[in-house]
Amino acid sequence: MIKRISAMLLAAAVILTVALPVAATTSNSLSPATQSHAHGVASQWSGSWSGTGPFSWTLYHGDGTSTSAANVAYTSHTFPTYAFFPCTTTTFTQHTRVTDQVGPLNSNDTTATETGGNPC
């Protein structure tokens, strides 16, 4: 009887453990909030996040391109610089998407304004 009760309690504990929700990436931020540059001058961003690693991240530049990395252990990163080279002064909106073992989380949006110029 005691073995049967123990087995039932163990089974219930396993079911409860499996059914508990697990949080995805718990924070994700990108900075600076705004930046402005002359034509051809590169923008620079830093990001930080938390959750259950390993992580994969993607930085969306706002012009249809992105930079990414997968299976990283770090929780903060200075992203590669990026210049837009627009023909007219343009504001681009960036954000990061970080995914941990459980799920994804988008960061706050930031903006980079670059003055238009040649070549176009």
Domain range enclosing 55 = 24-114
Give the integer Cα–Cα distance in Å for 106 and 35: 20
Choice between 55 and 3, residue whose per-residue pLDDT is larger = 55
Q: Is residue 83 part of a domain?
A: yes
Instruction: Identify whether 8 is part of a domain.
Output: no
Identify whether 18 is part of a domain.
Answer: no
In the beta sheet, which residues pair with residue 47? 30, 77
Question: For the domain that residue 36 is a member of, what is the CATH number?
Answer: 2.60.40.10
Domain contains 10: no
Contact 83, 41 (CB under 8 A): yes
> 16: Cβ–Cβ under 8 A, 6 or more apart, which residues?
none
Q: The whole model's pTM is what? A: 0.78
Residue 100 lies inside a defined structural domain of this protein:
yes
Residue 81 is assigned to a structural domain of this protein: yes
2 in a structural domain: no
Domain count, the chain: 1
- In a domain? residue 6: no
| Rg for the chain, CA atoms, rounded | 22
Instruction: Give dist(CA 108, CA 87) in Å, integer.
Output: 27
Question: Which structure tokens are listed for 5?
Answer: 């009760």
Note the Cα 73 to chain centre separation in Å: 13
Q: Provide the percentage of residues in the chain whose pLDDT is more than 70.
A: 81
Convert the pLDDT of each residue in 6-39 to its tens digit: 555 455 544 444 444 556 788 999 999 999 999 9
φ/ψ region of 60 (left if φ > 0, alpha if ψ in -120 to 50, else beta) reads beta
